[in-house]
Amino acid sequence: MSATNQLTSAIRELQSGLGNRVVSPRDAGWDHARRAWNLAVDQHPAAVVRPASADDVVAAVEVAREYGLRVAPQGTGHSAAARASLERSVLLDMSGMNQVEIDPERRRARIEAGAQWQHVVGPAADHGLAGLSGSAGDVCVTGYALGGGIGWMVRRYGLASNSIRGADVVTADGRRRRADTDSEPDLFWALRGGGGNFAVVTGLELELFPVRELYAGVLFWPQERASEVLTAWHEWSTGVPAEMGSLGRLLNLPPLDAIPEPLRGRSFVLVEAAWLGDEASGAEQLAPLRELGPEIDTFGMIPPPGLAALHMDPPEPVPGEGNGMLLDDLPANAIEALARAAGPGADSPLVSVEMRHLGGAARRADPSHGAQPAVDASYVLYAVGMAADAEMKRSVRRRIDEIQAALAPWDAGRFLNFTERPTDTARMFSGDAYRRLREVKATYDPGNLIQANHEIPAAEA
């Protein structure tokens, strides 16, 4: 059978089992169905399946296997830029499976795999609880947690991957399984930080934490003060308790009507922070930064769902080009190098360059943790710009390369969730963890059916 006939037969078989939950390139709505959150990524899978249940996932996996196709699960496509060609893959758009249940007694959230943080934080907050969410409400919990998950409370409660208490999955052989400490423990270990390489996740059970309110907000200064403010923030960050999560950032806001007047079209250096404590103790912690006289100060007490607004991430899909790196430190000469590459007067095409503070629980490995037990770095940098056309994309990419080259002396490796280009996955794990991940891949997916964004090859037999 020719490759084209084979694809046609595979689509026909998918449609006979799953009906209109399958979208093929010939169907109306194809361009919407194949879309990723990152609109700069033009995905062309063989077909899109929108599963409504774990049984639908089994059906899609079985047809893909029979016809020599791969399956590529997608939560939202926030990280679609790193994925290889989908030409011979069925894209599993998991977004329709988004039910969430909170068990306040056991402090657990049971979620379907397509749920986004915005579906979880409200119901959890109704019980005075919070999950380890990141900066954006519309990121899928599953993709985020499988890839590590660095949230506002990472220094106090660690990586989100290590808050996974169980996963319901469909493996490459089409079987539904449960992965937790008692059942499929190697698979459970690999899922917690090894990304989407090992199984299609259909549901997760996550630990929640007792958090009713935080003292959180943003301090803005004109970007001309970048070196002074970032140096002060770095010094301050080395002494704060684990209850303080923060980041330093260069922000260039476009002149869009949607952006309020005091910010529109301006460039800032800022510090965003979230303190697990009350207003008085939080204000005491922030005092050294406030002494620098910020132009705008938005701090106040907020419930955990309010954290999603702090970082001002785009509320809708956008075309972007971004990438990140881990840094072992951020001394004054690193800040100078960064300011030269992307600060005032550098005519930067980037919207944002941020450095998130790690350490604390983020750096503490425990034998009970998964494949990404901790982050052996002090900061994670992420730089991003708008990429509405090829020229914008090239110019943003070039500038990110320049920043990474300038910060090479402090390079501490790559973190899966903040890597948005095809990258050697060996750089994301310790040598032992990487070897074990390759073995788990060989056990559960020897034929390489499941296509993650950052692929970990199966160990050779």
Ligand X SMILES: Cc1cc2nc3c(=O)[nH]c(=O)nc-3n(C[C@H](O)[C@H](O)[C@H](O)COP(=O)(O)OP(=O)(O)OC[C@H]3O[C@@H](n4cnc5c(N)ncnc54)[C@H](O)[C@@H]3O)c2cc1C
Applying CB under 6 A, the residues found at the interface with ligand X are 72-80, 94, 113, 134-136, 139-140, 142-144, 146-151, 195-196, 200-201, 313, 417, 452-453
Is the backbone of residue 4 left (phi > 0), alpha (psi -120 to 50) or beta? alpha
Residue 369 C-beta: closest distance to ligand X, Å: 16
Residue 412 C-beta: closest distance to ligand X, Å: 16
Is 277 exposed, middle or buried, given 0-12, 13-18 or 19+ CB atoms closer than 10 A? middle
Distances in Å between the alpha carbon of 232 and those of 248, 347, 457?
Answer: 10, 24, 43
**78 or 436, CB closer to ligand X?**
78
**337 or 353, CB closer to ligand X?**
353
Taking the C-alpha atoms of residue 181 and residue 170, their distance in angstroms, rounded to an integer, is 17
Residue 146 C-beta: closest distance to ligand X, Å: 5
Distances in Å between the alpha carbon of 405 and those of 150, 391, 399, 411?
Answer: 24, 21, 10, 9
- The rounded Cα 64 to chain-centroid distance in angstroms is 27
Strands (E), 45-163: 47-49, 70-74, 89-93, 100-103, 108-112, 129-130
**42 or 284, CB closer to ligand X?**
42
Cβ proximity of 233 and 143 under 8 Å? no
Taking the C-alpha atoms of residue 75 and residue 92, their distance in angstroms, rounded to an integer, is 8
Residue 22 C-beta: closest distance to ligand X, Å: 18
Residue 208 C-beta: closest distance to ligand X, Å: 17
**201 or 341, CB closer to ligand X?**
201
Residue 320 C-beta: closest distance to ligand X, Å: 7
Q: What is the residue-wise DSSP string for 306-336?
A: GHHHHT---SS-B-EEEEEEEES---HHHHH
Cβ proximity of 100 and 133 under 8 Å? no
Residue 148 C-beta: closest distance to ligand X, Å: 6
Cβ proximity of 425 and 406 under 8 Å? no
**231 or 420, CB closer to ligand X?**
420
**190 or 337, CB closer to ligand X?**
190
Residue 294 C-beta: closest distance to ligand X, Å: 23
**148 or 304, CB closer to ligand X?**
148
**41 or 341, CB closer to ligand X?**
41
Q: Residue 37 gets which letter from DSSP?
A: S
